[in-house]
Chain A
Amino acid sequence: MSNIPETGRTPRVTVRLVAIQILVFSLLLTLGGRLWYLQIRNGDEYTRKAANNHVQQVVHPAVRGSILDARGVPLADNETRLVVSASRTALMKEPDDGKAVLTRLAGVLKMKPDDVQDKVRLCDAKTPQPCWNGSPYQPIPITDEASPQQALQIREREEDFPGISAEPTAVRRYAAPAGSNAAQVLGYLSPVTDEQIKKAEKTKSPLLRSDQVGSNGLEHEYDSRLRGKAGVTRYEVDNLGRVIGQKESQKARPGDNVVTSIDSRVQAVAEKELAQAMKDARKVHDRNTGINYKADSGAVVVMEAKTGRVVAMASNPTYDPNAWVGGISGKDYKQLTGKNSNYPLLNRAIQGQAAPGSIFKVIPTTAAVNAGYDFDGRFPCTSSFSIGSQVFKNFESANYGSINLGRALEVSCDTVFYNLAYEQWKKDGGNKPRKKPADWFYKTAHQFGLGKETGIDLPNEVTGRVPDRQWKKDYWKANKDGWCKSAKKDGDYGQRLSYENCLEGMKMRAGDSVNFSIGQGDTLVTPIQMATIYSAISNGGTLYDPSIGKAIISPDGKKVTKIKPTPHGKLPMNAATRDKIDSALAGVATRGTAAWRFGGWPQDKIPMHAKTGTAEVYGKQTTSWFATYTKDYSVIMTISQGGTGSGASGPAVRKIYNALYGIGGKGGIDKKKALLPEPQADLPKIESDGSIEAQPLGKQFAVTANDRRRGAQR
């Protein structure tokens, strides 16, 4: 007997049951297929979407490392300020989106309610600044200048200020130790740009929207080391943005400290003396222009001769780098970058280029020796030199008869070098140059490192210019259209010049070579290039990359990465020539053009070497150059439109040396007063708790905060 009953169904019903069954299972299959499509095929896409949905991150910024001077004194560090910030998430939970809270807060902080309101709104295409362009889950700073009383008021009445916090927060500070400013060397911080975020995306240290990055100076150069790594806590949030869990938390890693070779005290002296020299120069009447010297800008570099390390680097005009902290105001920004600002952001020690004038002469001297002339030979030092109708004057010098190259350096005799350059020019074929001209003077300038960056650890260094044959060709190509357009054979000076340039601007003319031999014409150098060269002469011929960073030390002081001086070349001279040039430059300081500025100098104990330069600039007053060195230091100073080399820059350079070595008014050496008779060799010690053992600045540098401000504004 079968258990399966016989059914009384008609085939119609049976068929329809089968149809229903098929329909039912195709529906289920459809569901299964769709499920597969969503979860397996497109699962990754939805996983990403789900992650975006529910994870929000809050950034804990890393404390930026300090920039220390050679003795451990902080040039840039962080100070704790009371920062009042608002949490948008908390405010949005208020019935009026936190309006009442912010109005109350404005009352406590003595700010306008609208200003406070504006600070917490989120930036978008339609919202003008001020607005918040960070994560809405990040506390938004309202002010970093809250007083302890205000902070206390906010904290004590928590119920009145939901979502408002008043926390001590690390804020960048440029401490200006000893009254030094070093603005252009240090650089500044500015909010990160979209471009920078994109660029850093795939590097080891990606940038966050809320990050501040070093712009300019050391802050820029060592940014990745100073910045450290921000900590991030990822929160899971629900559909209303409420935090429901903490996913992962990465602690912030504070940035490394950068120890520099800058000595804040020497830096302060250098800045002060540069400013004073410029001030004094403005009192001097310029016979050529009939008005006082403008002394519009200047720079001074103090370099360790044996390493290329920079002990002080000042650029004038300057500014207070603290202006950038917490976001620069529109007014300040205009003052720093506007047309009438004279561009205080420029570091003229590495970005200011000018014709070097006579401090260039060590180069043609070397070139002459290398070209086969005898250093001790006899060369006519006439009062002027003529090529055809062109007369080249002996600017700083007079008729000294026949002299050797050393004496020519001492008395800065232009005509000696004119002669040599003209001879060489003729040897190279003159107006119809040989196929491979020797170009001794240009070649030597290149060998001295001119026409390219020195490689200092600062951004945006400029190259200067060696106006050699190649440059002439390139320059002519770039400008011939303009020249030929405005050319007029019988026009005014400019038109005639254009005419000449249009016709033969691509050619190395005799006048070009002659001008170049005394660092005039189209020659351009930067103070840092000249410091590198004079340091090399001092140290026996090694050209070092100038450097400011000396070591990078981890926040706990345990990991020290020394930055060793790296040479980039040798001066093209043998020891004998170097010694002869060396003694000639000592002669400049004792009996030559700089002698009057080194009266009473203890030359027997600290041999001083110097070279003065007064460079002509078409349409402007002369540039003052002063290049000096001892066995340990070289000091280069320049003042644009400042007058003569020794006249304008001499006293300042002398005072810098006085401070370095502790030289008194009558030439006596007071070792106690000497700031840095020998370069600082040891690195400052950083304790494991991050504290730095800085050596005291000394009494004479005990300045008040007010002085500091004034100092920075000069």
Chain B
Amino acid sequence: MSDSTRSFLDVRDLTVSFPTEGGLVHAVEGVSFSIERGETLAIVGESGSGKSVSAQAIMGLINRKAAQISGEVWVNGKDIVAMSDDDVRKMRGSEMAMIFQDPMSSLHPFYKIGAQLSEAVRVHQQVSKADAKAQAVDMLGRVGIPDPKSRADTYPHQLSGGMRQRVMIAMALINSPSLLIADEPTTALDVTVQAQILELIASLQQEFDTAVVLITHDLGIVADVADNVAVMYGGRLVERANVDDIFYRAQMPYTLGLLSSVPRLDQVTSDRLDPIPGNPPSPINLPPGCVFQPRCSYSHLVGGTTCEMKRPELLQINADHFVRCHLDEAERVRISTEVTHVLHGGGA
């Protein structure tokens, strides 16, 4: 494929494995997705699902001496996996940037925030210290920090959690990256502050035409901001679709289980929640067949030992809906209708 038709971010068959004493751990296996500028892709999954490792691989943050990485990660026509660490470092912070979950441990406690921001400018741009400082102050103002000029001279510990997260966003966006990866950017924040931060990311995304990969476990945030959704489980992408298909026409039993188990703010559908039984698998000891099979309530419908023994392929249902499941299509559609009918009281 030529660069002109390739998506802005194009991840193909990404596999990340860590050698351990207990054997090779496949943290991420065969993950593919793509996203254009201005779009938001949400990666959803529980702890250990491989969502953060995928994000780190895209940013080139995984130590290649400690891990085996294969597949392709094309960012703006360049393959991160094939590039040297030095070249990736030049892209990081300028063409692509990341926001982490915990702003306190991602900012340097000994340096003033203005200094940390201007350093980010001077690493990637040939500008004077004064110009860099001016850019830093300007950016702090744009992320909604009141009185940015004097705030630039404060240390991270002098700011509240929401303000620190704004500084992180300012730092990520100061070189106008075209790809932003946000790893649980609001998990450490209160809901009223979370709303402010999500709004901020959305408006900056529009301004800079940024592609955003948002990693979260919160389905409410996904419904709020995502255009497309990738659901991960046990290191694999198990379903991928646009946001409406995920919420109203999901077909993978895990996605449906996740949707059913979330308590709702706007309704109490029944007295009891409908949890997924069991626990997420350990990446060291994944089941040989479908990774979700031990917790799946529908695998008996497939018959035989297919689900236990055979890894399902990622099937394409329509233009942008993919699902990894052994159930035949009629069965998946039936289950999907059944579950979403209960969830949405009448169904879409």
Q: Do A and B come from one complex?
A: no
